Amino acid sequence: MMHIDMKKLVGLFLILFLYIPSLWAQEVHIKFLITSDVHGNYFPYNFITQEGWEGSLARVYSYVEQQRKALNNQVVLLDNGDILQGQPTAYYSNFIDTVSPHITSSVMNYMKYDIGNVGNHDVETGRSVMGRWIRECNFPVLGANIMDETTHVSYLRPYEIIQRGGVKIAILGMITPAIPVWLPQNLWKGLYFDDMEKTAQKWVKIIQEEEQPDVLIGIFHAGKEPRQMGEYLDNASMLVAQNVPGFDVVMFGHDHQKACEKVDNIAGDSVLIINPANNAFFLGDVDIKLTYDQNSLIDKEVEGKLVDLRKTEVSKDFMKHFDQEFNTIKDFVSAKIGEFSTTISTRDAYFGSSAFIDLIHNLQLDISKADISFVAPLSFDAQIDKGDVFVSDMFNLYKYENMLYVMELSGQEIKDFLEMSYSQWINQMKSSEDHLLLLKEERTGSDERTVFKYFSYNFDSAAGIIYDVDVTQSQGNMIHIKSMADGTPFDLTKTYKVALNSYRGNGGGELLTKGAGIPHDELTSRIVYATDKDLRYYLMETIRKQGKIDPKPLNQWKFIPEEWTIPAAKRDYKLLFGAEK
């Protein structure tokens, strides 16, 4: 009979216990998929250009379903806001058919989103539209720093706890607090927006003490690079990731800039930050693998990547399910509203008076009866062709759901406003060979965010006055206003009625505050008229009434000296658009 040495046997078990815990450790794999800044791109079709489109939630859904099958539904699907604005799909449910279920919530419910977050363009639709969308969603929509003015508590859920494979996951949602800089108060009346870092400090402590989650995710509708907007700090996502310990992942958006990297926080821990940019071209894909030993978490691995969905096969089930909604939107945008006698393009708007921008100037002046109008190109490279004009063209003519304001400004404030606008737009030329436009030294793409040093939607020109822009001068000495458009004198001390959009009128771009020197809290008192519908609606109605429009440049302003600026404009035009001006 074989003798068993019990001491050796116990020793062997002790070695196994101490050195081979993996024999009984359990690993759980969870995948987080994130969309951000979808901007109404639910279908693989651009309803503005009326052609096929690479970005869409129909492609996202194909990828999501593949991952759900591969991982036995250990997948968490998140959206980071700005989903209610951009394409006519969202606009139709927001403002045209307000009785049927909102297409955005219907799509998100069909895709089985787990969590949503609020973006600034979602707030821009107004509390009624935003509230309707949130109520119809079968999942929580977060907003820890969206505060109720009366109760001073979060208007929406600050965070949500979800479970996957026995793993406890906490998700904290926030928005950039700079909403009051961009949007009229009537759109967010009764609310205010707290600082992101302060809010995160508060809620992370609560979450850690009361929930003790295995994983903490931040989902923030704010960009990576912080910028001060009046009293508000915009784009504070990186600051939160670095300065508020506890997050495993910070998913962010708003700035439309792809990102996927790891950073260290002040506690020395690694945090994955990820941003899939806009229009559902890319998807954020985060894998978290957790190892447990007898219910104790002993290891956590976090990896992320951006998935290019532009060639992903469209979900046939998705398209079949939303076939009726797709056709309804297609019929809506295909309705004729008028006729243009010539083709107009925003390309011309960067180099002088243009038919595209001056059409909006004329319509703003006609609608508001103001003395002067301010307008910037809202789309980098938009064109409306000669001939029949359709509802779809109106989303090219005017990209956002801004209201129309009339504000009282002095002649000096008008000049100073334009000085700042052109200083961000125009390079100070030292010789005839210099660039006319103020461009980035390293240009990585072909849109306004990668070409221009500043955002082109802040390149306001004026109508109603005759002026020159001297490109050899710096801010303060560039603008030379000669007269009003009718030839009467322009007076720096006189008060004028100025038509402009609500984004600008609320301080967006800081042309009124930093440029004209008007305190932000004084802007509201300067507003003497505001429309109750978005500017695109009034532009559409005006074109319908007039029937045939003959867009032409007003030629009320120009760059000087022309012997420098005209050749420079031709060079820069070719640089930007690859064609001759």
- For residues 247 and 423, give the distance between their C-alpha atoms in angstroms, rounded to a whole number: 40
pTM: 0.88
Q: Is 129 helix (H, G, I), strand (E, B) or coil?
A: helix
CB-based contacts of 174: which residues, under 8 Å, 6+ apart?
Answer: 117, 142, 143, 144, 145, 196, 199, 200, 218, 219, 220, 221, 222, 240
Residue 480 to residues 412, 468, 476, Cα–Cα distance (Å): 11, 5, 10
Determine contact, residues 415/405, Cβ cutoff 8 Å: no
Domains and CATH numbers, the chain: 24-329 (3.60.21.10), 336-577 (3.90.780.10)
Residue 189, both tokens: 């009346």
With the C-alpha atoms ordered 376, 377, 378, 384, is the resulting torsion angle positive or negative? positive
Residue 557, both tokens: 């302003």
Q: Which helix (H) or strand (E) holds 61?
A: helix 57-70
HEC-encoded secondary structure of 179-213: HHHHCCHHHCCCEEECCHHHHHHHHHHHHHHHHCC
- For residues 537 and 540, give the distance between their C-alpha atoms in angstroms, rounded to a whole number: 5
Instruction: Please report, in tens digits, the pLDDT of each residue of the chain (581 residues total).
Output: 445 565 565 555 544 444 444 445 789 999 999 999 999 999 999 999 999 999 999 999 999 999 999 999 999 999 999 999 999 999 999 999 999 999 999 999 999 999 999 999 999 999 999 999 999 999 999 999 999 999 999 999 999 999 998 999 999 999 999 999 999 888 999 999 999 999 999 999 999 999 999 999 999 999 999 999 888 999 999 999 999 999 999 999 999 999 999 999 999 999 999 999 999 999 999 999 999 988 788 999 999 999 999 999 999 999 999 999 999 999 999 999 999 999 999 999 999 999 999 999 999 999 999 999 999 999 899 999 999 999 999 999 998 889 999 999 999 999 999 999 999 999 999 999 999 999 988 766 555 566 899 999 999 999 999 999 999 999 999 999 999 999 999 999 999 999 999 999 999 999 999 999 999 989 999 999 999 888 999 889 989 999 999 999 999 999 999 999 999 999 999 999 988 77
24 phi, psi to nearest 5 deg: -120, 5
Closest CA to 134 of 83, 182, 189: 83
Determine contact, residues 396/379, Cβ cutoff 8 Å: yes
Closest CA to 361 of 397, 401, 408, 414: 397
Tokens 């945090």, residue?
A: 271
- For residues 120 and 178, give the distance between their C-alpha atoms in angstroms, rounded to a whole number: 9
